[in-house]
Structure 1
Amino acid sequence: MLAAVLDAAGDDAWQPPDTGSLEGDLAALNQESQTALTAEPPVVAAVIAASFRSEQAADAQRRLWEDRYARCETIVARAVRRGEVPPDTDARRLLVVATAPVYHQLVLLGTPPDPRLPAHAARAAALAAAAGAFVEPPAAEGTGGP
């Protein structure tokens, strides 16, 4: 039943925020995540916990997150068009780094929500992205690999 609920969640009309800047979009996305993770009743945390006990729920949750990350790639595409980040920025890596602190603090550590965390994590990720941290370096000549 949980797997069906998660699959249905992927069929919604949710779209990532569009604030006009990468940092703003990431901060808004992080704020949405923090709000969802701290809502009462704690539905999101319960779903995450259930995914560790059911292969079906784990698969459904994975599909949901794949869908969400795919939708959020537009945040990075817009940032590329605005010249905020290099064109070959790896959107998935950037999005994971931007959102991970919120999940780490609230889900793994169980700390109370910090109202500054969504913006702080977004700023750190946006600065790293602008500096090229999420661009794969070219393979060294003669090594055949990265």
Structure 2
Amino acid sequence: MDEKAPAPGTQRPGGRTARTRAAVRDAVLTGLGEHGYPGLTVEYVAERSGVHKTTLYRRWGGVEELVADALDLAGEDSWTPPDTGSLEGDLHALAREVAEFLNDPAAAAAPAAFIAAAFRSERAAEALHAFYAARFRRSAAVVERAVARGEAPAATDAGDVVRAVSAPLFFRLFITREPVDRALADRSAAAAIAAVRAGVFSTQARA
């Protein structure tokens, strides 16, 4: 487990290196959920992951980099946005997918922990921003397809549209602590669709 870790954002090899990073990531997630960012320690991650703390210090440096790398690893999944054949179908499917994820306590614990960590650590905040920026870039395909089909104005800001779909769901869960359900997901999608059709997300309207 002493091999040098690739720099964050580069292509990672598989094998033992990948297993080590996955074990460390899982330990970081568990620690954030149990103790929050202030209570997360390298010693805890070492004990939970089975990776010696000297290896953790050498490869990651400390808690901030452990948290950032856990987010970086989370962004390497194979998720792709829905493709139902219409903007309405895609945005409803996307909103329902987010709602379903946030309604799973085990799944929602991870973003909650990372958001809390971002308020304590600039490095964690940078990693969180990079994670969601990448996620929104993937989701932009939904709007780009809609523009190509003539369902949305050519100058529609795809990133703003997908943010508008998910923002009410995150607000309800993390700010007002209210239930996130399918009905809310559908309202969020419907509001975003109406705004797209009205040209609210057109970059030309801002000029």
Please, what TM-score do these two structures have when normalized by structure 1? 0.87
Residue pairs, 1:1-146, within 5 angstroms: 1-41=66-106, 42-137=109-204, 146=207
SS of the aligned residue for 2:105 comes to coil
RMSD between aligned alpha carbons?
Answer: 1.6
Distance 1:128 1:34 in 2: 20
Matched-pair identity in %:
43
Distance 1:27 1:89 in 2: 18
Deviations 1:75-99 (A, max 9, x none): 1011111211111111112122222
Higher relative contact order (CA 8 A, sep 6+): 1
Amino acid across the alignment from 2:200 = A
User: Highest CA radius of gyration, 1 or 2?
Assistant: 2
- Number of aligned positions between the proteins: 140
Distance 1:24 1:48 in 2: 29
Distance 1:60 1:127 in 2: 32
Contact 1:24 1:122 in 2 (8 A): no
Distance 2:195 2:154 in 1: 14
Distance 2:138 2:89 in 1: 17
Distance 1:30 1:62 in 2: 20
Please, what TM-score do these two structures have when normalized by structure 2? 0.63
SS of the aligned residue for 1:113 comes to coil
1:66 CA displacement: 0.8
Amino acid across the alignment from 2:145 = R
Distance 1:61 1:25 in 2: 25
1:138 CA displacement: 5.8
Distance 1:102 1:138 in 2: 26
Structure 1 gap segments, 5+ residues each? 140-145
Distance 1:18 1:24 in 2: 8
Greater percentage in helix: 2
SS of the aligned residue for 2:140 comes to helix
Contact 2:155 2:204 in 1 (8 A): no
Structure 2 gap segments, 5+ residues each? 1-65
Distance 1:48 1:105 in 2: 15
